[in-house]
Amino acid sequence: MKRFFLILVIIGLVCSAGIAFAEEKIKPEVTAPGVAEQAKPALPPPAVPAAPAPPKIDTGDTAWMLTSAALVLLMTPGLALFYGGMVRTKNVLGTIMQSFIIIAIISVQWVLWGYSLAFGPDVGGIIGNLSWFGLNGVGLDPNPDYGATIPHQAFMIYQAMFAIITPALITGAIAERMKFKTFFVFTLLWATLVYDPIAHWVWGVGGWIRNLGALDFAGGTVVHISSGISALAAARLMGRRKGFGSESMAPHNLPMTITGAAILWFGWFGFNAGSAIAAGKLSTSAFVVTHLATASAALSWTFVEWIYKGKPTTLGAASGAVAGLVAITPASGFVGPMPALLIGLGAGIFCYIGVFSKNRFGYDDSLDVVGVHGVGGTWGALATGLFASKLINDAGADGLFFGNPALLGIQALAVVVTWVYAFLVTFILLKVLDWTMGLRVSEEEEETGLDLSQHSETGYNF
Amino acid sequence: MKRIEAIIKPFKLDEVKAALSAVAVQGMTVSEVRGFGRQKGHTEVYRGAEYVVELVPKIKIEIVVPDQTVTRVVETIAKAAKTGKIGDGKIFVVPVEEAVRVRTGERGEGAL
């Protein structure tokens, strides 16, 4: 315990030293807009980021982006409720705590080094450098590369919420059995070693996957595939829960789960429509397709379950909705409403099958992160390769059904690279953590439950 | 003195209570229990995982009565709790050695 705090203090000291060092390098930003203003062109500036005109802040765009950031933040507590209701009573707080504390951990990590690694000046197409450590150089004037009409910090804080929810997704796979302090360290390291690089590859200027032309509007690869496949590594390494297959592991509070799913649906409008980084046609299009894909996925999962199991379940409807949200995420800024319905239809079916495969392969992905996020994200990324149309977003590309089979290949490459990288790094990371700190709680602690054993609390004291 | 333990279906509780007060039974202890005899449980499905729930919720009523009223009370409960379907429950009669009223310290049948 004391060693754990010692490690945290050392990290804190290193960061403080880094901040102090970085602050010396701050150049006044006043000169840049001043210079540009004198060179104002007579013609309206072109739409590309390299425009000579000074970036002008649009209040509508900024309002929407700040709102979207808040919406995406709300998704993490929503996820906490979604997962919390699905575990057993004795683990409800432990499950919720994992998502909730990630908000705190990653918020700090993001503004110290995460944002710089993900979106900072590119190094070799692989990663950003640390020149934006401690938000050095990340001010309130727009950065033309990342939101030409909003303050740079608005973009940064919006992206922070994505960085937060991604590791939270993984917690579903290792529910009810992970040591809290190991989970804490894992979160910090996974964000730095997996999320930040992949975000850079796909979204950062200079990122190699972005340069290849892969399309990921709001995070199919960056968020869902990365967390989904990492969840697979985690589930395999953690091992099955005690009593898996023989004891009842039924959800203890499905009303809480459905509430969580509804909050996720609501917040996801910020996730997808906000990825337009502006308020207008594209964000509207993303908003509409997000809603349609979710609705159709909820229906398709419900119907598949109705046919195969005899009854439509609330958990199925909610899970279908989440699967649809996941699948439409990479496609949301590139496809039209009717393809969105098809993407949702596919998500309900493929993710339902994905959830069942865990029985065939025997791993305990407790809350189906692999089946919903891994499979859903993969379907969504490939569906983008099928249905993308430049009529919807001319900054995108056309997909297979619009005459360009090449995109599908690029999407597939991005998917496979993400699978391999996320799986390998997560696997190694967890192996090291298991060896040094231990991943799992003891059998007795697992029997007592995480709430009492990790947090000395009981969820319900009626 | 005898203790009468009756396991009945939960929705029958109000009927049994009403019937018992009609035969002047003045007190009882009620608990929520789960169990099974010949009644089968049910199956729940969560994301395809099936859980067979064998234990069925029931209500247990415990009443301590003087020996001479035992038969009447048992019949009253049985009649009120019956639906004719499997799972109606069971009634057990057990001897009681002593009874004490906490407030006054009375003992024996006067404490009932």
Q: How many CB pairs under 8 A join A and B?
A: 25
Write out chain A residues lying below 8 Å of B47, CB-based.
313, 315-316, 319, 355, 368
Does A1 score more than 90 pLDDT? no
Domain span at residue B96 reads 2-111
Hey, of A82, A257, A313, which one would you mutate to test binding to chain B, going by the most B CBs within 10 A of its CB?
Answer: A313
Of A249, A311, A356, which has the smallest distance from its Cβ to B45's Cβ?
A311
Output the pLDDT for position B48: 81
Output the pLDDT for position B15: 96
Write out chain B residues lying below 8 Å of A368, CB-based.
47
Are the Cβ atoms of A250 and B46 closer than 8 angstroms?
yes
Output the pLDDT for position A4: 73
All structural domains of chain A, each given as residue ranges with its CATH number in brackets, are 63-455 (1.10.3430.10)
Per mean pLDDT, which range of A80-94, A254-268, A307-321, A346-360 is the poorest? A346-360
Predicted confidence (pLDDT) per residue in A44-74, tens digit: 655 555 555 667 899 999 999 999 999 999 9
Identify the band that residue B6 occupies on the pLDDT scale cut at 50, 70 and 90: very high
**What CA–CA distance (Å, rounded) separates A300 from A191?**
33
Does A382 score more than 90 pLDDT? yes
Predicted confidence (pLDDT) per residue in A301-330, tens digit: 999 999 999 999 999 999 999 999 999 999
Closest-CA distance, A315 to chain B, in angstroms, reads: 7
**Count: domains in chain B:** 1
- Measured in degrees and rounded to the nearest 5, phi and psi for residue A127 equal -155, 160
Does A361 score more than 90 pLDDT? no
CATH assignment at residue B19? 3.30.70.120
Closest-CA distance, A316 to chain B, in angstroms, reads: 6
Are the Cβ atoms of A313 and B45 closer than 8 angstroms?
yes
Are the Cβ atoms of B47 and A309 closer than 8 angstroms?
no
- With CA atoms as reference, the chain A residue closest to B51 would be A248
**B48–chain A Cβ distance below 8 A for any pair:** yes
**B52–chain A Cβ distance below 8 A for any pair:** no
Of A250, A311, A355, which has the smallest distance from its Cβ to B51's Cβ?
A250
Identify the band that residue A13 occupies on the pLDDT scale cut at 50, 70 and 90: confident
Mean pLDDT of chain A: 91
Closest-CA distance, A296 to chain B, in angstroms, reads: 18
Closest-CA distance, B51 to chain A, in angstroms, reads: 7
Predicted confidence (pLDDT) per residue in B65-93, tens digit: 999 999 999 999 999 999 999 999 999 99
Are the Cβ atoms of B48 and A359 closer than 8 angstroms?
yes
Q: Does the structure's ipTM exceed the value 0.85?
A: no
- Claim: this prediction has a pTM higher than 0.90: no
Output the pLDDT for position A30: 39
Of B45, B51, B53, which has the smallest distance from its Cβ to A309's Cβ?
B45
Write out chain A residues lying below 8 Å of B49, CB-based.
249-250
Does A353 score more than 90 pLDDT? yes
Identify the band that residue B1 occupies on the pLDDT scale cut at 50, 70 and 90: very high
Predicted confidence (pLDDT) per residue in A389-425, tens digit: 999 999 999 999 999 999 999 999 999 999 999 999 9
Write out chain A residues lying below 8 Å of B48, CB-based.
305, 309, 355-356, 359
Does A34 score more than 60 pLDDT? no
